[in-house]
Amino acid sequence: MKQLPQDSGLTTRAFLLAMFATVIMAFWTQHSELVIDSPSFNSIHPSVAGFFAVICISLFINPALKAIRPAWALKQSEMLLIYSILIVTGPVVSIGGVHFFLPTLIAPYYYATPENEYAELFHHVIPSWFGPKGTEVIRQFYEGSEGAGVPWTVWLKPLALWTPFLLAVYFIFLCMNVIIRRQWVDREKLTFPLVSLPLEMTMDAEPNRYFNRFFRNGLMWAGFLIPVVLHGFNGLHNYIPSVPAIQYKNINISRYFIERPWNAMGYTTISLYPCVIGISYILTLDISFSCGFFYVFAKAEAIIGAAVGWVGSSSLARFPFLEEQGAGAFLAIALLGLGLAWRHLRDVIRSAFLDTQTVDDSNEPLSYRWAVFGWILGMVFLIAWSMTAGMTALAASVFFILFCLFSISLTRMRVQAGMGWIHGPLSIQDLMLTAVGTANLGVTNLTILSHYFFMTGEMRGVISVMPSQLEGFKVAEAARISPRHLVVGLLLGTFIGLLLAYFAALRTIYEFGGNILNHWRVRSMPVIPFQRLHSVLSQPRDADWMGMQFVAVGFAVVMVLTFIRRRFVWWMFHPIGYAAAHTTRTMRWVWFAMLIGFGVKYLAFKHGGIRTYRKLLPFFLGLILGDFFMGGFWGVIGLFSDQPGYLFFP
């Protein structure tokens, strides 16, 4: 079949607009997420700030340019290249790059006290080049510099040494995406639900039209209006309390279950997020159903455990070992994803090492040889960097292999289930500690691993960059954008975005002082790994064999669910739903909304078939568009206020 010609997309004006938007996003993010405490800005994916920029181009800037001079209007390929860069740089300028990372370099010193004995337990094994050490520099980070600005002289060396580390992490993501892209996109045809809306809203308009068909669809605007009304009233209520609020999220139902064993279900809420309902409508029925079902199933596990008395026993005190099951499930999803692709991976490896003509990779973002050797060299660099810091080769290798597997699993879940809010199960550090105990890792390995917690403790952070890259590749393919030009844009955007984030974040932190900024990003998440480190060093632990058994349970359940699915097309229980439900907070916010999306889609197919589904699709895309638009709108309003901002999600 003859392929359609590709459009570069990487025009000078498109790249400059993407960089201009990145500059704005870098500073805007610090104010929105750190100062006014509105943390959903770049911690739901795709980046709200990046998405809002493309909405504004599609709705306002491009029609104005077309009215002035049609040739000035941006083409779809240009807008989507901007979008692809911004959804990657969004997390980089936020929790995917600097918000957890920078405080991690300061926290073990600022929070050290004679009582917790941080200095005696592990300060001596922290490399001198990991971060600033001066007492005054550390104090000013949390208490403000009182107009003295950022002490750049003491920050330049650690940032210069950590930046190659972070760039290597982002680069191995890129290489892994290149290696798996064809299998997941062309052969398995995963749905990529988060790609549908940007493709629709950036379509080129017909001649003599200012807006494309998507923006002229009345059903889309009906869906758009619902979140506009919800967030309009609730946002006004946030700033003007006399305006009534509309309660549609975090409706506590666990208060009705206060007796044993029902109270073992824990805090349980119902929420009706429009964007989640919209995304769930796009998903396959088995995934949206399974996500909701397995959340209820996890609650049932806790209730059964309380009923039979397992919760109070010593060996099963943590039943149902939710995070351990989740860790096993994540590992299984990654290994199954690679196992199903073994023929493709065999061809890729053969092409990289033996014969470059084995597979045609001319339409890939990188050649397979570059991707394979890039991944190997990136991993070698990260392991060597960690060994320079003091880790053993074995511990560093195990960590980064697990890191890659968890990243692949998250990416698979995002491009198949559209969940841009996954928190993750047991962290890689905790999984390693569960498997071998304190003594076998040792104080130095544990201390360096604690510094790496900023990458693994929250999957909406660093790891979220990998699925964002792959969604960019999918966008490029659908819009016929040159994938190799897109890679240039992504690499430059990531590097520039990271440098901008250093400047913007440190400037904000030293101006205000971390103690009055967002608690989760500056004072909680960066402290957690060192509190845990203090605990395991003060009270050494053996390998947790009971915990590892439940890791094996999670692994086995995913394997069984996958085995059954491949033999019975009617089987509705998807392993991704099981994995998502067995994490800390992933499904707590969205389970009910996903079941609503499932129910509506099921009824549409049952009573009207594919035609009814497609007819209703613009309405549900409008729900997503309205949510993200209002998230960006209240972010703009927040720029002119120092009081807590409006949080549209979660």
Would residue 609 count as lying in a domain?
Answer: yes
Residue pair 630/275 in contact by the 8 Å Cβ criterion: no
Within 8 A by CB and 6+ apart from 98, the residues are: 92, 498, 501, 502, 505
State how far the Cα of 150 lies from the Cα of 140, in Å rounded to an integer: 9
Nearest to 76 by CA among 248, 213, 268: 213
Residues of the chain with pLDDT below 50 are 1-4
Q: 635-642: long-range contacts at Cβ-Cβ below 8 A with a sequence spacing of 24 or more?
A: 635/28, 635/32, 635/38, 635/41, 635/48, 635/49, 635/52, 637/235, 637/239, 638/31, 638/32, 638/36, 638/38, 639/28, 639/31, 639/32, 641/36, 641/239, 642/35, 642/36
* pLDDT value at residue 220: 94
Query: pLDDT value at position 37?
Result: 80
**514 found inside a domain:** yes
Residue 397 lies in a domain: no
Domain residues for the domain of 265 are: 17-217+246-354+364-392+402-638
**So what's the pLDDT on residue 8?**
64
Within a domain: 232: no
Quick one: pLDDT at residue 1? Answer: 36
Do the Cβ atoms of 467 and 408 come closer than 8 Å? Answer: no
Within a domain: 10: no
Q: Helix, strand, coil proportions of the chain in percent (round to 5)? A: 70, 0, 30
229 found inside a domain: no
Is the separation of the CB atoms in 294 and 580 below 8 Å? yes
**Total domains present in the chain:** 1
Peptide bond between residue 207 and the one before it cis (omega within 30 degrees of 0): no
Selection from 277, 303, 240 nearest residue 591 by Cα:
277
Tokens representing residue 182 in the block: 């064809």
Do the domain assignments include residue 8?
Answer: no
pLDDT for 312: 63
Q: Is the dihedral of CA 13, 16, 20, 26 positive or negative?
A: positive
Structure tokens at 330: 């994540």
Q: What's the predicted TM-score (pTM) here?
A: 0.93
**Apex CA 491: angle with CA 490 and CA 493, to 5°?**
65
Q: Which residues contact 584 (CB under 8 A, 6 or more apart)?
A: 322, 323, 423, 424, 425
> Reduced to 3 states, what is the DSSP secondary structure of residue 96?
coil
Distance CA 38, CA 325 (A): 31
Residue 356: the pLDDT is 66
pLDDT at 622: 95
Q: Is 336 domain-assigned?
A: yes
